[in-house]
Structures are given as C-alpha cells and as structure tokens.
Chain A
Amino acid sequence: MELTLWTYEGPPHVGAIRIAASMRDVHLVLHAPQGDTYADLLFTMIEREGRRPPVTWTTFQARDLGGSTAEMVIQTLQGACDRYQPQVLLVAESCTGELIQDQPGALAKGAGLSAPVIPIEMAAYTRKENWGASETFYQLVRGLLAARAPKPGEERSARPADQPASVNLIGPTKLGFRCRDDVTEIRRLLESMGVRVNVVAPLDATPHDLLRIPDADANVNLAPEVGDLTCDWLKRQFKQPIISTVPLGWGATRDFIAEVIETLALDIDPESVGESRLPWYSRSVDSTYLTGKRVFIFADGTHALAAARMARDEMGFEVVGLGTYSRERARDVRALATEYGLEALITDDYLAVERAVTELQPELVLGTQMERHIAKRLGLPCAVISTPAHVQDYPARYSPQMGFEGSNVIFDTWVHPLIMGLEEHLLTMFRDDFEFNDGAVPSHLGGEGGGAQQPDNVTPMIPAEPGAVAWAVSAEKELRKIPFFVRGKARRNTEHFALEQGLSVIDVETLYEAKAHYSR
C-alpha cells in the first residue's frame, strides 16, 4: 500500500486508451466498473478532442457482480463491433476488471466477432500509464505484423536507387507533450533532407497503415516511453535500424540530423539542414543574465534528459536538480545526473519532489503540471516541459518542442517566467519601491509565474527540520532587504553555513560570511 497525493501517471489502461484514441479505425472495449469512464475527459477536456475516445466500457455495478459479468462483456463486445465496425478490436480490463477475472480477451476470441481481436494484459497493480501505452502499441503492431516478418536469415531487400529514403515516426500519441506539432516539425525537417515519412504511428494511423511499417528504411523512436518496445521488435524481426536521438533542443536536433544521414547513407551536408535562432538568442548580450541561473528539472525520462542538456549547454543555466518519474528511464537519467555532479531523483512521489525543490530553492523549475503547483506554492518561476500537463499546455498555436523551431519555442518558454536582467538589478537596488516590491508581480508576468507569492509567507507542507538555527532580529531584517526571488536561497544557504560552522544564532555578519562562502 502506497500513500499517494498526486500521481504522475495514470493506470495502464489509460495508456491503452491513449493508443486507441490516437488511431483511426481501432476500437477498445474495456471491462471496467461504473466511474472509470472519467478517462474520456482527459481527451475531450484536457486535449479538447472533438470526438469521444473510441472506447466502449462495460461499466458494471454491484448488482451485475451477482449475475454473469462475462455475459455483459460479450454483449458489450458485440455491440461495439456492430456499431463501430473497427478494423481491429482491442480488449482490456481496468484494475477492478482484473480482480473479477472474467478474462475478456479469451471471451472475445471465442465470441465469433466480426473484427480481429487483440487482447492486452494490463497488470494494473504493478504497471502504469506509459507502460500500458507501450505494451498496447507493441501488441497491436506485433499482432498485425508477426506473420509478415521475413524468415530468419532472409536479408532485407535494398531500397531501389530511384526511391527516396523513408522512415517511420514511432511513438507520438494523444495526451503526449506537443506530439501534434512535433510530428509536423520533424516531418518538415526530414522532408527538407529528402527523406520521406512512410508511417506515423500511433498518432492518426489506421491498422492498415501499421501494415506498411516494414516498407520504411528505419524507425525514428520519437517518443521512447511509448515506442521503445515496438522499435526493438521491428529491429529484430524486420531488420529496421532505429534512429534513437530524440531531436529535443538545438544540439540534439543536430545529432538527430547526423544520425539520419548516417543511418540512411544520405549524401547531404548536415550544416545545410534547417536553422535555429536559439544560438544567437543565447549568445546575445541580453541573455547574459541567464548565466548560472539555478534550475531544477523533473519530467518524463525523455524530456528530463533533453532539458538538462539544453539548460546547461544551450541556455547557460546551472542544473541543480534532475529527476524523473519514469522508472523505465532511471538508468539514463542517473547516468546524466552523475555527469552533472548530481544525484538523480527517481520517484513518483510528489512530496519527495516538493521536498527537493524546497531544499534547493532553484531560480527556475522545469517540470510537469505537478511541479507547476509546487513552484506556485513556493513562489518560484516555472515552465512545463513534459506530461502530465494541463489544458493550457495543449495550446492553439503551433508550438513544437522538437527540431529547430522547437528549440526556439523552448528558449522563449523558459525565459518568459524569469525576471528580466535590468528589472532584477533595479529590484535589488530599490527594494522598498512602493509599486515595485516583494508583493508586486514582475511587470511582464501579470500574475503568473514567480514573485506573486512571497516564499516567506508560504506554509511549506513539510515542517522545518528540528534543531534549525535561530535568526537574530537584525539579521532577519537584513535578510528582508534581499530581493524576494533569491531570498529563499539566501536563507537556506545561510542556515546551512551556520550549521556547518556550529553556530546557534545567525547575525548580520553570519549572513555576509555565508554570502562570501557561497559566492560564485
């Protein structure tokens, strides 16, 4: 039993719904109790989908448990087939469905349905949403393609010289982070290199499209959380190489281009492909104030890894915390954290993340919807870089994260919540200015982002550590002269310093000693 306030991922059957909802002509029947249909609103409200996810639910109640729920499953399966006539019918259970052991997959196989059936085992009590999405997509692809795999030893036929090189984009889904725009951006980038996009899946694909996957020269693993398993299987069965660099960030996009050229043996100059404004924006003098800003990063594995690289190498920030809720990616994130001199935070416990942010007092938080709320509580600037995300992170405008345009978008997104260079200095100089002070919101933010709440006034959810040092009144007064957006950090640093020095009371001198001690 695990105490959970918020969860980064839904249950695995929500992952299955994401696959069905991403595709066309696929229908999912879920054996689940009344109430589990809430999942529809993730798609129709958060992502503003204009159609219901293609899911039919048995929605059993207590009174049905006395009778035959298996009969109910068969009726639901037949009803869904008749009404929706899918090319493929997926069958799965939610957590409660799993407990009553009706085995709807087996029932569907024996029901003589008009559509081919692919049952998915969800393991609701050990797995989560991304695993469910990955497993469902894998079972679907395998179910459709296993019979078509070349025999062992059979060589993949070479692409005819007059055909352009082609790839599949594997992994983008509904409720992924900016998947719609990332697909557009990467398709554009590949086409500018003379590479044809053969199939994008699962997003907007039909089962018939999946049958064409083997036609491409390689698979781009665009969303590893969903696509890893399938890309590996396609590599083993169809000898399709995997292009595994995720083009998130300027440097990663360049690496991606290089990997595409190498994998497909293209004869083009990588320097001639696309351009980004990020390098100039980052080098221009206005960005000097970004140098060494302390950022905390917590996201799914893919976005956490990409953000860390961008933050350090492309924005000039200092990464002070790095973590992920994707246990499947823990090894990669740990390795990168070590390279950055950090210990990775691998957890799906929202409170552990909140403790880390409170402790580190970063100047910018890059995270999910959860970290947005942590940052709001602590009065810290924040940008959302990953799922889980809320309705405002599914914007109307074109807003990719991947490719060169994606790196432009990310530059803007991360800089926006920060206090601009000269404003920061003026706040420091004239802190008692009546309309430009702790309580006043940075002029460009209008109530969002940092500064609106004073960290000092926020009651942290975690009580202060026992045995904390005391502040002399004079030092407390001096502390208040430090601008609010760095005051939390100054307080922490000074207290750490005092503890290290074995001091029980902090006076003004201690404050400045600590400042000197920690100055960069």
Chain B
Amino acid sequence: MSQVIARADADALPDITTERGERAVFCGLTSIIWLHRRIQDAFFLVVGSRTCAHLLQSAAGVMIFAEPRFATAILGERDLAGMADCHEELDRVVSELLARRPDIRRLFLVGSCPSEVIKLDLANAAARLQGVHENRLRISAFSGSGIETTFTQGEDQCLASMVPDLPVLSEGSQRLMVVGTLADIVEEQFRRHFAQLGITEVDFFPAARADDLPPVGPGTRVLLAQPYLSDTVTALTKRGAKLVSAPYPLGVEGTLGWFEAAASEWGHHAEAVQEALAIPVARAQKSLARVRESLEGRSVHFLPDSQLEIPLARFLRDECGMSLTEVATPYLDQTLMADELRRLGSGVSLVEGSDLDSALARVREHRPDLTVCGMGIANPLEAEGFRTKWSIELIFTPIQGFDQVADLAGLFARPLVRERQLEVGSWS
C-alpha cells in the first residue's frame, strides 16, 4: 500500500513515502491528558462513548486519578435513537458538572468519533450554553475524534477553538506568541532567554489560566513550540499573525535556531543571539556530551506517533551521532516542517502515514538499536529483542530548551544503558 512520491526539490529533502493501512496511534482525545494539567481552570467534557472514557483513563494511567478535570458524557441508545434530545441532555449534563465544579473558568465540549458520525453540532451547543452561562465562564467546542485527529492534533484543535476569543493586539505594537503546551519550567527558562535577547513582549499560549488570553493581530509573531499546530496557525494567520519559520526547540541546535528565528523578527542578528545565549548553550553542550557516549554510532527507527519524530530524528542524528533507519510520522505538514526538513536533508527515509504490519516488518529488517513507538507496541517489540522508547513519554516530559537537552538525550539513552546493565537473561 505504499508509493514513493517524487518531489520537485528531492535532492535537498528526505525521500518521502506515503503509506496507508492500519494506524496504531491514539486519537486527539489523548491531548486532554496534558492540556487539563496545563490549563488549570479548564474542564474538558468529551461527548462520546464508553470507549472514549476508557481510552482517557487507560492512556492516562494513575497520574490524573487524583483530580480529574475531564469527564465523558456517554451517549446511550436513547440519545442515538432520537428518544432523548441530545442538546437537552447536554444542557443537563453541563449544569450538573458546573454545579459540582464551581471553580471552572473554561469548559471545552470535545467531539468524538460517535458525536461526529451522528453529526452532533457541538459548536452550536457551546454557543447556546455560553448564552446560558455568560458571566460565569467561557465555553467552546473542538474535535478530538479519531476520524479527524491523531494524538497531538487534539491540542491543535483545542487551541484553534480558543483563537476567536483572543483579544485584539493594539495596532503598531509587535508581540511574540509562543504556541504549544510547554512545561512550566521550560516556559520560565524561555522567558529568561527572551529577556536576555531584549524581547519582553512575549506571550505563551495556552497559559496556565484560561482567562490569560494573549492578544493577536498583525503585529503578532507566532513561534511554534510544538510541531503539530497546523489549524491553530491557520486561525492565528487569519487574524493577521505572522508565522516565524523556525526549527523546533529540541536539542542545542534546534533551540538556538528557534531563538535566532524569533530574534531576527526583532532585528537581532544570529551572532548577537549566540553571544547572548553562550552560557546556556555551553552548559547544554557539556551535559549532552556525557549522554552522547551511550547513543553515538547507534541506530534509531521512528514509528509514527506524536508528530515530534522529525525534529527528534534531526537532534539524535546531528547532536547525538545516531544513524536513522527510518523516520515515520502520522502526517506531514510541509509548511510547519519546512525548516526541519531542510535540516534533515536528503538521504533520510521519511514515511508519512502508517501500515502497521509493513512498518513492523521494516523494523525487523533494519534491526535498529532503538525503536521509538507507541505504548501498545513497545513490549511486543521488546519481547522480540528490540530496545524501545515509548513516544508518549516525550510528550509528558520537559524536553525543550537548553537545560533539558541532556534529559532529552537521556530518555533515549536509558533503554540502551539498561540493556548493558541487566544480567537477567537475554533480551533477544
């Protein structure tokens, strides 16, 4: 089921193959797991089936049992057969929820596969409910359904749904908007670095509080912290914002390139950025050198999962000395990946999409030292003798920025170090 698509500028870019077939990826609902921790006064109400509720608790594991700020309104046969009016039912469920959680400042109605298939209009429902609860909180809708979104794309849909609520940036001013969920500690580091570069007009989106909405307008420069935000970028662009083409802040080179791209919008030259950030860069290089020993000369294979595959592959090859047997990604947005694809260059096998059994056959053929994959596949590959890294851990860990470079490399080094250390029988 695969075909090689010839690209006009093929000599500078990776060889891109598209594949269709079985896809072993999460749906966009999974994004709720980190979004609800990031936006601390938001609640995510999935309108879906028992499968949706089960996915969320299975994928989330123990972490969020303590204080869930998400729930599922499970559609029953009465709703599907038209015996109950879905919108009345939804109103009832939302009232129930808000009575129980008076602290919520923003409610997201999250569409799922079943709600999409029965064409339940949640945007309409959100607008109606907004009228009912006007002074109490903001309500909007987005889709996290598997038929429309893959894993991290749920965050894209969520952020895009908030864009209409962003205030207008006053004319004549220029502000930087860093878009995509980041760990608190990374956000603080980035703010310090921007200050060192003399850029203080910086907003992070999403913010920890739902009401902290950054302004947007023609003076907005959008710098993506995460590579999966296509629809959010489109929505921001429609409001006049300009996307800054940059690599993603993974690894020393990626992070430096990211700051350089932002700074050039403020008229700073690359040399000035390198000088201003010399200390964190040197510190990152020093700490990376130790971890690099475990990775250098080893091969890594990416199965499609989180959309982080391309920048991570670039980091592991260029800064950790690994070779790439294959880099697969669920979908490829050439605009958002433009800078990364240039850095990756030709000679890399890049696969867009997935056909699970063929993909696994290629892992067995290439026998990489490390395979980055989804959680459901990791143990079966381990049992076959392959060392793996589950990609969801890369989403739940602070990995961006200079001071996390060694931690990021460490995530990949750990399975290899463990293999050398354990004396409990053979893996393969």
Q: How far is the CA of A282 from the CA of B53 in the complex (A)?
A: 41
- Residues of B40-71 at the interface with A, using a CB-CB cut-off of 8 Å, are 47, 49-51, 53-55, 57-59, 61-62, 65-66, 68, 71
Q: How far is the CA of A51 from the CA of B421 in the complex (A)?
A: 24
Q: B residues within 8 A CB of A474?
A: none
Stretch at the interface among B79-87, B160-168, B271-279, B285-293: B79-87
Q: How far is the CA of A42 from the CA of B375 in the complex (A)?
A: 10
B6-34 CB mask vs A (1 if < 8 Å, else 0) is 00000000000000001111111110000
Is B376's beta carbon under 8 Å from chain A?
Answer: yes
Q: How far is the CA of A79 from the CA of B113 in the complex (A)?
A: 25
Residue in A1, A48, A58 whose CB lies within 8 Å of B76: A1
Q: Would you call A33 and B146 a contact (CB within 8 A)?
A: yes
Q: Would you call A41 and B118 a contact (CB within 8 A)?
A: no
Is A49's beta carbon under 8 Å from chain B?
Answer: yes
Q: Would you call A40 and B147 a contact (CB within 8 A)?
A: no
Is A4's beta carbon under 8 Å from chain B?
Answer: yes
Q: Would you call B53 and A7 a contact (CB within 8 A)?
A: yes
Is B171's beta carbon under 8 Å from chain A?
Answer: no
| A123 closest partner in B (C-beta) | B77
Is A437's beta carbon under 8 Å from chain B?
Answer: no
Is A94's beta carbon under 8 Å from chain B?
Answer: yes
Q: Would you call A40 and B54 a contact (CB within 8 A)?
A: no
Q: How far is the CA of A355 from the CA of B24 in the complex (A)?
A: 38
Q: Would you call B71 and A4 a contact (CB within 8 A)?
A: yes
Q: B residues within 8 A CB of A124?
A: 49-51
- Residues of A373-389 at the interface with B, using a CB-CB cut-off of 8 Å, are 373, 376-377
Is A336's beta carbon under 8 Å from chain B?
Answer: no
Residue in B28, B75, B100, B380 whose CB lies within 8 Å of A51: B380
| B116 closest partner in A (C-beta) | A62
| Shortest distance from the beta carbon of A259 to any chain B beta carbon, whole Å | 36
| B74 closest partner in A (C-beta) | A2
Once A1-B84, A6-B68 are accepted as A-B contacts, the answer to whether A57 and B77 lie under 8 Å apart by CB is: no
Is A445's beta carbon under 8 Å from chain B?
Answer: no
Number of B interface residues, CB 8 Å?
Answer: 62
Stretch at the interface among A95-103, A199-207, A241-249: A95-103
Q: Would you call A41 and B375 a contact (CB within 8 A)?
A: yes
Q: Would you call A52 and B147 a contact (CB within 8 A)?
A: no
Q: Would you call B145 and A125 a contact (CB within 8 A)?
A: no
Q: Would you call B55 and A38 a contact (CB within 8 A)?
A: yes
Residue in B80, B147, B382 whose CB lies within 8 Å of A125: B80
Is B89's beta carbon under 8 Å from chain A?
Answer: yes
- Residues of A1-23 at the interface with B, using a CB-CB cut-off of 8 Å, are 1-7, 9-11, 13-14
Q: How far is the CA of A153 from the CA of B267 in the complex (A)?
A: 95
Is A34's beta carbon under 8 Å from chain B?
Answer: yes
Q: Would you call A35 and B55 a contact (CB within 8 A)?
A: yes
Q: B residues within 8 A CB of A6?
A: 53, 57, 65, 68
Q: A residues within 8 A CB of B150?
A: 34-35
Q: Would you call B117 and A100 a contact (CB within 8 A)?
A: yes
Q: How far is the CA of A124 from the CA of B76 in the complex (A)?
A: 9
Q: Would you call A33 and B379 a contact (CB within 8 A)?
A: no
| A64 closest partner in B (C-beta) | B147
Q: How far is the CA of A56 from the CA of B62 in the complex (A)?
A: 28
Residue in A46, A52, A62 whose CB lies within 8 Å of B377: A52
Q: Would you call A96 and B147 a contact (CB within 8 A)?
A: yes
| B70 closest partner in A (C-beta) | A5
| Shortest distance from the beta carbon of A7 to any chain B beta carbon, whole Å | 5
Q: Would you call A44 and B118 a contact (CB within 8 A)?
A: no
Stretch at the interface among B90-98, B196-204, B232-240, B336-344: B90-98
Residue in A1, A76, A373, A461 whose CB lies within 8 Å of B74: A1
Q: How far is the CA of A3 from the CA of B72 in the complex (A)?
A: 6
- Residues of B92-136 at the interface with A, using a CB-CB cut-off of 8 Å, are 92-93, 96-97, 100, 113-114, 116-118
Most buried by A among B22, B54, B357, B380: B54
Q: Would you call A95 and B71 a contact (CB within 8 A)?
A: no
Q: Would you call A59 and B23 a contact (CB within 8 A)?
A: yes
Q: How far is the CA of A65 from the CA of B378 in the complex (A)?
A: 30
Is B5's beta carbon under 8 Å from chain A?
Answer: no
| Shortest distance from the beta carbon of A350 to any chain B beta carbon, whole Å | 9
Q: B residues within 8 A CB of A45?
A: 375-376, 378-379
Q: Would you call B73 and A96 a contact (CB within 8 A)?
A: no
Judged by DSSP, the binding face of A is mixed
Q: Would you call A11 and B49 a contact (CB within 8 A)?
A: yes
Residue in B28, B58, B62, B100 whose CB lies within 8 Å of A38: B58
Q: Would you call A11 and B50 a contact (CB within 8 A)?
A: yes
Q: How far is the CA of A177 from the CA of B375 in the complex (A)?
A: 22
Q: B residues within 8 A CB of A50?
A: 379-380, 382-383
| B72 closest partner in A (C-beta) | A4
Q: Would you call A34 and B147 a contact (CB within 8 A)?
A: yes
| A390 closest partner in B (C-beta) | B62
| B375 closest partner in A (C-beta) | A41
Is B407's beta carbon under 8 Å from chain A?
Answer: no
Q: Would you call A7 and B66 a contact (CB within 8 A)?
A: no
Q: Would you call B73 and A2 a contact (CB within 8 A)?
A: yes
| A50 closest partner in B (C-beta) | B383
Q: Would you call A14 and B54 a contact (CB within 8 A)?
A: yes
Q: Would you call A2 and B76 a contact (CB within 8 A)?
A: yes
- Residues of A92-138 at the interface with B, using a CB-CB cut-off of 8 Å, are 94-96, 99-100, 124-126, 128
Most buried by B among A10, A38, A100: A38
Q: How far is the CA of A10 from the CA of B49 in the complex (A)?
A: 10
Residue in B65, B145, B148, B379 whose CB lies within 8 Å of A49: B379
Q: A residues within 8 A CB of B62?
A: 373, 390
Q: B residues within 8 A CB of A1?
A: 47, 73-76, 79, 84, 86, 89-90, 92-93
Q: B residues within 8 A CB of A33?
A: 27, 113, 145-147
Q: Would you call B71 and A5 a contact (CB within 8 A)?
A: yes
Q: How far is the CA of A11 from the CA of B380 in the complex (A)?
A: 24
| B357 closest partner in A (C-beta) | A83
Is A255's beta carbon under 8 Å from chain B?
Answer: no
Is A233's beta carbon under 8 Å from chain B?
Answer: no
A199-241 CB mask vs B (1 if < 8 Å, else 0) is 0000000000000000000000000000000000000000000
Q: Would you call A95 and B146 a contact (CB within 8 A)?
A: no
| Shortest distance from the beta carbon of B118 to any chain A beta carbon, whole Å | 7
Residue in A5, A34, A51, A52 whose CB lies within 8 Å of B23: A34
Is A184's beta carbon under 8 Å from chain B?
Answer: no
Q: Would you call B51 and A36 a contact (CB within 8 A)?
A: yes
- Residues of A29-75 at the interface with B, using a CB-CB cut-off of 8 Å, are 33-42, 44-46, 48-52, 56-62, 65
Q: Would you call B54 and A65 a contact (CB within 8 A)?
A: no
Q: Would you call B26 and A38 a contact (CB within 8 A)?
A: yes
- Residues of B361-400 at the interface with A, using a CB-CB cut-off of 8 Å, are 374-380, 382-383
Could you give 5 example pairs across A and B, Cβ below 8 Å? A5-B71, A10-B51, A50-B379, A59-B146, A95-B113
Taking A4-B71, A95-B50 as given, write out 19 further A-B residue pairs in contact, using a Cβ cutoff of 8 Å, ordered by the A residue number.
A1-B89, A3-B74, A6-B57, A10-B50, A34-B23, A34-B146, A35-B27, A35-B29, A36-B51, A38-B27, A39-B376, A40-B377, A41-B59, A45-B375, A124-B49, A124-B50, A373-B66, A376-B66, A390-B62
**In the complex, the 5 A-B pairs of residues with the closest C-beta atoms, listed nearest first:** A35-B27, A35-B146, A40-B376, A50-B383, A1-B89
By a beta-carbon cutoff of 8 Å, the part of chain B in contact with chain A is: 22-30, 47, 49-51, 53-55, 57-59, 61-62, 65-66, 68, 71-77, 79-80, 84, 86, 89-90, 92-93, 96-97, 100, 113-114, 116-118, 145-148, 150, 357, 374-380, 382-383
